[in-house]
Amino acid sequence: MGEQGKYSNCRKELTTLYQDLKENPFVLWEDPYISHLGKAIILMIHMDLLDDEDQNIGLAHLSYLFISKGLLMEDRREPLPDEDERFRILHDRVLLLKSFDDFFTESLIGFYYADEKAENRDQYNQQRKAVLSRIPLMQYADIFLIEQKDPNLRDDEYLLEVSNLIEYDNAIGQKELKEALMLHQILFKYTYQQLRQGKLEY
């Protein structure tokens, strides 16, 4: 509907989907196409389905959780992953982290500075700036995973542009890639626990 410009119908369906997620966010948890639910949530945020910023931050985390779960399931698919589906999932996660990087800063501050609570606004801003610099590395890590199968990124203009921008601004080696992949694991587990414990506002 969105691709066809039927935005009114699209919002109506997304509203229904959002209400379903409020009732049971794990409704498609074991479904192999759960990542599509993550993509639908990206649409919810882009179309301003909700006005509350904290709820949108929660939605971004929910989208990240579903997309990442889809990637895990795809990587475990037997006998082999569907490379087209895997490409789409990673593309969506790059899009999410690029579009809403600011929404993930508080979670990352919690990881990096768990034992170092900011004592003033300046220190908090320094922490915020530091973790914001890690999010492009998480995007790049996903692009790196795509490159292992598709060295030219399938000539995808968006991914090529994002990759070039990140490489221009950052020196990225094995250490940075390892850190970024670890952050993906931590963010996934953290968001899952927040959702299970009913602490994720969305």
Tokens of 172: 């990225």
**Tens digit of pLDDT for each residue in 84-115?**
999 999 999 999 999 999 999 999 999 889 88
Nearest to 95 by CA among 67, 72, 70, 76: 67
**What's the pLDDT tens digit per position in 115-145?**
888 899 999 999 999 999 999 999 999 999 9
pLDDT tens digits, one per residue of 140-196 = 999 999 999 999 999 999 999 999 999 998 889 999 999 999 999 999 999 999 999
Q: Kindly state the DSSP code that residue 152 receives in the 8-state scheme.
A: T
16-74: per-residue pLDDT in tens? 999 999 999 999 999 989 999 999 999 999 999 999 999 999 999 999 999 999 999 99
Phi and psi dihedrals of 48, rounded to 5?
55, 45
Contact 185, 55 (CB under 8 A): no
What is the pLDDT, as a whole number, of residue 49? 96
pLDDT tens digits, residue range 41-57? 999 999 999 999 999 99
Token reading at 111: 């990881």
Q: Calculate the dihedral angle through the C-alpha atoms of 101, 104, 110, 111, rounding to the nearest 10 degrees.
A: -70
**N- to C-terminal Cα separation, the chain:** 24
CA atoms of 173 and 28, how far apart (whole Å): 36
The C-alpha atoms of residue 194 and residue 10 are separated, in whole angstroms, by: 29
- Report the pLDDT value the prediction gives residue 2, as an integer from 0 to 100: 79
The token pair at 33 is 């196409």
CA 149 – CA 171 distance, rounded (Å): 23
